[in-house]
Homo-oligomer: A and B are copies of this chain.
């Protein structure tokens, strides 16, 4: 195979006495000056956040850190049960489930909003736009992302909190407005409560912050890695994986235990 392309990464460099990270001096500008969440903003945008960006961005991440016992934390705990010497592998196993079912809806919401309104500066009839989005999704039999929640009913408490912070930090704009109108329209058309859930709120705010929709899954991955470390540490002190295994094995194989095919 032919090759010859120059390799290039703009992220970091080291010399004997200095480390550069995206143009900042790690020791002078970052360590002791900024928080882990700000480093996340730096990694996804290439620059440090200002104060209101830092507040909003950290709020998005903090919302995503912890969901208690869910499939991804159970995958991490199951992995720890077999390989307690490799915490990094348990956290990695937990991240692997952050796919289309749970974390995907944040990026889907951001993408829906950005596709509908590519330029937020454009004067648009958001009400008509929301109707069109809902109608298009229904016509394609696609699920509207970021709406509804199995537990948080009739409203998701995280959404109001995040939108309040967006207002306080100046990130309240057309994408949040559009998301609200889509929720209203969907509730009217589908005749059931479809409040904006946390993933919908985060998707809308990511658009307000001018983050590309591709970044949204990354927010979930960063934040959940922090939470997964906590679950692995709890599992090492107060395990549940072995008990969940034994119960699941016993029940799931009960109907077949002892049964073999006829030998031919």
Chain A residues close to B by CB (< 8 Å):
1-3, 5-21, 23-27, 29-32, 34-40, 42-44, 54-55, 58-59, 61-63, 65-72, 74-76, 78-93, 95-103, 150-153, 155, 157-158, 160-162, 164-165, 214-215, 217-218, 220-223, 225-227, 229-234, 236, 238, 240-253, 255-261, 263
- Distance in angstroms between the alpha carbons of A8 and B252 in the assembled complex: 4
Query: Chain B nearest CB: distance from A128 CB in Å?
Result: 29
Whether B68 contacts A243 by the Cβ 8 Å rule is no
Whether B253 contacts A233 by the Cβ 8 Å rule is no
Whether B91 contacts A89 by the Cβ 8 Å rule is no
Given A26-B63, A44-B230, A225-B225, do A9 and B69 touch, yes or no (CB 8 Å)? yes
Query: Chain B nearest CB: distance from A249 CB in Å?
Result: 4
Residues of B within 8 A of A98 (CB): 82-83, 88
* Smallest CB-CB A-B distances: 6 pairs: A83-B99, A43-B230, A82-B97, A12-B68, A225-B225, A36-B37
State the oligomeric state as a number of copies: 4
Residues of B within 8 A of A8 (CB): 238, 240, 252, 255
Residues of B within 8 A of A251 (CB): 6-7
Residues of B within 8 A of A222 (CB): 36, 225-226, 229
Chain B residue nearest to A249 (CB atoms) is: B69
Residues of B within 8 A of A227 (CB): 39, 43
Given A10-B234, A234-B10, A245-B70, do A86 and B83 touch, yes or no (CB 8 Å)? yes
Whether A81 contacts B91 by the Cβ 8 Å rule is no
- Give 26 pairs: A residue, B residue, CB < 8 Å, sorted on A: A3-B243, A9-B68, A14-B67, A17-B152, A17-B157, A30-B62, A34-B58, A35-B37, A36-B36, A43-B66, A44-B229, A68-B249, A69-B252, A74-B78, A75-B79, A78-B78, A79-B96, A80-B97, A82-B100, A84-B100, A84-B101, A87-B217, A88-B95, A88-B98, A88-B220, A222-B229
